[in-house]
Structure 1
């Protein structure tokens, strides 16, 4: 299959970029002679991440649209048209067999250019409520791949719709629960709570977790590992000290988790936001969770993600506006005192997991290339 070229596109946030990079890596691993090119914007996070992966990167213009008529929207439309012309030209030069889009406004002009050139298109939607770009692009794609089956009802796809799941990091798939617990110094009967708000942290979670620290500090058989986010770490520790809260050995506080696979692999219960990548990792590991969706996520997609797990019995959902230390402690205590419930949640989460997601996506792309 020498000479096979592919183009992947997706940008703006890690939620769009990391799945695109995972698919690119999967294609290169399956087809070592293939060339995979990435189209993004010069301003997006992809401009830094993609070259670090060693992939050829081409920048085109693009801009997000607001949901009302503004002068900014007129400029965005002009940039999108310029991006369309550039993408059309680049696709002619690169001659890909398939174009893969994972969302973000840059995917719009690239996928539209692929449609104009009659190139096969696969798009991947990460969330239970699809983003605006993918809702539109699903009409042009031969294959629309979903992380959550619930997303299908929001799409008007003219092609094939397949639930593949979301590719997760290799270290998540390889982690051993037993080894992770030994690495963290946990006994077989110990219960581990892992809480985090993403790389930047979450103020509401940080506030609520203080109550868990007060309640469980020094309590035998229960461990709490919490990541505050780097920007919050120093001030959060100072606040605990000012409030006279003692951190016993069973309470471990970090700015962020360097090897989150170990923490999630060892966890009996996770407390976190409801980003698609996090939920894909939790379900692959079969980890029960208390989810606090980020309330300002575009289209409230984290709320839809969280509800998808809750409806299957894999998670408990607390709205950010309803999150207090007392409420969080009440839910944690309830689950820890009913191990049968935690076991049912773990089994439900595991049933939702798609550790084979990357292989399924690569299979679909290669099938399109062969067609």
Structure 2
């Protein structure tokens, strides 16, 4: 058995953390004797989620650059220097055979040090528009796994491998988990179930929409699993007292939540879109307008163009939401068509394909 040492970095949001964990899980199944170490930002959610998944993690003092002049921005050079020095110490101590980055603040310094020491390195880019960290790293790493075509304008063409985005284990058989999922959330089987996903931190506009529509949902026999995000839980937890509403800061059993759902409302981050293609339930995307190059709208539009989901922009919610929601809710035919079409877009082998690329680096 190969006792490789594999270092993984990705975090800040679930969109970076879960792909990193999915890749590590796949490599662990191939190399049971391998040793894994994650590196994250010391004050972000990876410090909690990675140990829950069974992996050790070290934290760096690092954060992103704000779009305006702030004290945090003035501290950035100091944080970057600190993180580079800490990364150097971690790598010298752990001595990895390969380094993997899935985006987020911490992967920049770690992969920068790894590539400078000649350690074979791979980055995984989830979005159609890459983040600043991966653009910065792309010149030095060996392999760049991507989920969208036409990324040659951002990355060296010869390093790009189209794999899709890794998805969490347990999502491939979600269609078998409807009864189990509804039981796990103590839901009424005769009611329609709406799953609301605003990302790990939460989405203010989606939360406001759901709050505004609670009477509307009740009048149409809809019960909710509402993941409002940790930033908003204190504001919305009061609605747990309603019979048809469950408010959660975070959902740990995503396979059960997806299994229970009849309809899903979601942001359109790349990892979410990839998961929802595999899950194969009717989806209404409400993209965040506050992201680089409006890439969430582009992610969602790629699905909508295949008649595989509904897209409502934030500024059109007041006018259009009820109509679109009822079009899906009241038509089994629409539900079935959206489900079938979105499933066709799933890249179910992404995690395995990325692990293949890591394995090539380990064995070269």
* TM-score normalised to structure 2 length: 0.83
Report if aligned partners of 1:201, 1:227 keep a CA contact under 8 Å in 2: no
Superposed CA offset, 1:16-74 (max 9, x none): 22222222222222101111122233333333333444433333443423457877545
Larger Rg: 1
**In structure 1, how many angstroms separate the alpha carbons of the residues matched to 2:224 and 2:32?**
40
Equivalent in the alignment of 1:142 = 142
Equivalent in the alignment of 2:27 = 27
Equivalent in the alignment of 1:342 = 335
**In structure 2, how many angstroms separate the alpha carbons of the residues matched to 1:279 and 1:6?**
28
Q: Secondary structure of 1:152's partner? A: coil
* TM-score normalised to structure 1 length: 0.82
**In structure 2, how many angstroms separate the alpha carbons of the residues matched to 1:81 and 1:178?**
49
* 2:356 equivalent to 1:363: yes
Q: Which sits farther off after the overlay, 54-63 or 167-176?
A: 54-63
Equivalent in the alignment of 2:344 = 351
CA RMSD, Structure 1 to Structure 2 (Å): 3.1
Report if aligned partners of 1:102, 1:125 keep a CA contact under 8 Å in 2: yes
* 2:296 equivalent to 1:302: yes
Superposed CA offset, 1:260-291 (max 9, x none): 43342243421222233332221111122111
**In structure 2, how many angstroms separate the alpha carbons of the residues matched to 1:96 and 1:289?**
41
Equivalent in the alignment of 1:118 = 118
Equivalent in the alignment of 1:233 = 236
**In structure 1, how many angstroms separate the alpha carbons of the residues matched to 2:54 and 2:276?**
29
Classify 1:153/1:69 alpha carbon distance in 2 versus 1 (closer, same or farther; 3 Å).
farther
Report if aligned partners of 1:99, 1:111 keep a CA contact under 8 Å in 2: yes
Shift in Å, 1:185: 4.8
Which ranges in structure 1 are unaligned for 5 or more consecutive residues? 239-246
Shift in Å, 1:150: 4.8
Equivalent in the alignment of 1:164 = 163
**In structure 1, how many angstroms separate the alpha carbons of the residues matched to 2:298 and 2:123?**
20
Equivalent in the alignment of 1:105 = 105
Classify 1:59/1:197 alpha carbon distance in 2 versus 1 (closer, same or farther; 3 Å).
closer
Shift in Å, 1:216: 5.3
Superposed CA offset, 1:278-306 (max 9, x none): 32221111122111112334554433322
Which ranges in structure 2 are unaligned for 5 or more consecutive residues? none
Q: Which sits farther off after the overlay, 293-302 or 8-17?
A: 293-302
* 2:349 equivalent to 1:333: no
* 2:257 equivalent to 1:254: no
**In structure 1, how many angstroms separate the alpha carbons of the residues matched to 2:124 and 2:198?**
25
Q: How many residues align?
A: 354
Equivalent in the alignment of 1:76 = 76
